Amino acid sequence: QSALTQPASVSGSPGQSITISCTGTSSDVGNNNHVSWYQQHPGKVPKLMIYDVSNRPSGVSSRFSGSKSGNTASLTISGLQAEDEADYYCNSYTSSNTWVFGGGTKLTVL
Amino acid sequence: QLQLQESGPGLVKPSETLSLTCTVSSGSISSNNFQWGWVRQPPGRGLEWIGDVFYTGGTSYNPSLKTRVTISVDKSKDLLSLRLDSVTAADTAVYYCTRRVPNTSLRDSWGQGTLVTVSS
């Protein structure tokens, strides 16, 4: 299975909105709604931000939202804050009963 | 609050077997039919799913690791285990144990991670 495709980096200014894409295939992202997003600060444990495409776990800011269209899932962060600067990873279930991560996106807050 | 804690050797020689355990506390590994698994992250690189074990005892593994990996649970000791055979330098990574809610992508609990280096 191949890793999901994410942009290597994205950037935005405080207060702006950014979107990170995660492109897969009809065998993973396009096949089900079990897509999740993780935030990881340097040296820290990944933190679940979105699960099942658009659901936020308890305690996650409403500034984070998820969506999906076809084989591409997206994470949108609105009202960008300095603390949002981190690496972000998407993760999808596959038709082979396995899971696959994206390569990761580095978000820089300018 | 469920806690997961990985443990095991920090250094493994090439061609040998990597063995890690994950202790579950403030909860039970056999409760509520959660699914348990492992994710790893080579230094400076991205996350890689290794595999999951289901409450039924069944397993699912990353196809790229399937021939070398075994994941199991010991319900009597609340332990999750990972075994990776014939390791190479490419297996050097931080290894995380995780818990996932069945039929969702809600992988809500992660251990702190343990760095395993493969080197002679």
Note the pLDDT tens digit of each residue in A16-34: 999 999 999 999 999 999 9
Instruction: Tell which of A68, A93, A98 to mutate to test the B interface (max B CBs under 10 Å).
Output: A98
Note the pLDDT tens digit of each residue in B35-44: 999 999 999 9
- The answer to whether the CB atoms of A101 and B60 lie below 8 A apart is no
Note the pLDDT tens digit of each residue in A34-65: 999 999 999 999 999 999 999 999 999 999 99
Which chain B positions have a beta carbon within 8 Å of A102's beta carbon? Answer: 46
pLDDT for B32 equals: 63
Q: What is the DSSP string of B40-101?
A: EE-TTS--EEEEEE-TTS-EEE-TTTTTTEEEEEETTTTEEEEEE-S--GGG-EEEEEEEE-
Contact B58, B73 (CB under 8 A): no
Q: Give Cβ neighbours of residue B98 (< 8 Å, ≥ 6 apart).
A: B4, B36, B37, B38, B39, B107, B109, B110, B111
Does residue A91 carry a pLDDT above 70? Answer: yes
Of the ranges A75-84, B29-38, B51-60, the best mean pLDDT one: A75-84
- The answer to whether the CB atoms of B46 and A98 lie below 8 A apart is no
Residue with more model confidence, B102 or B20? B20
Cβ-Cβ contacts under 8 Å between A and B: the total is 61
Geometric angle at alpha carbon A99, from B91 and A37, rounded to 5°: 100
pLDDT for B30 equals: 75
Does residue B1 carry a pLDDT above 90? Answer: no
* Chain mean pLDDT for chain B: 94
pLDDT band, residue B104 (cuts 50/70/90):
very high
Does residue A88 carry a pLDDT above 80? Answer: yes
Q: What is the CA radius of gyration of chain B?
A: 14
Contact B11, B19 (CB under 8 A): no
pLDDT for B29 equals: 79
Instruction: Tell which of B39, B105, B106, B112 to mutate to test the A interface (max A CBs under 10 Å).
Output: B105
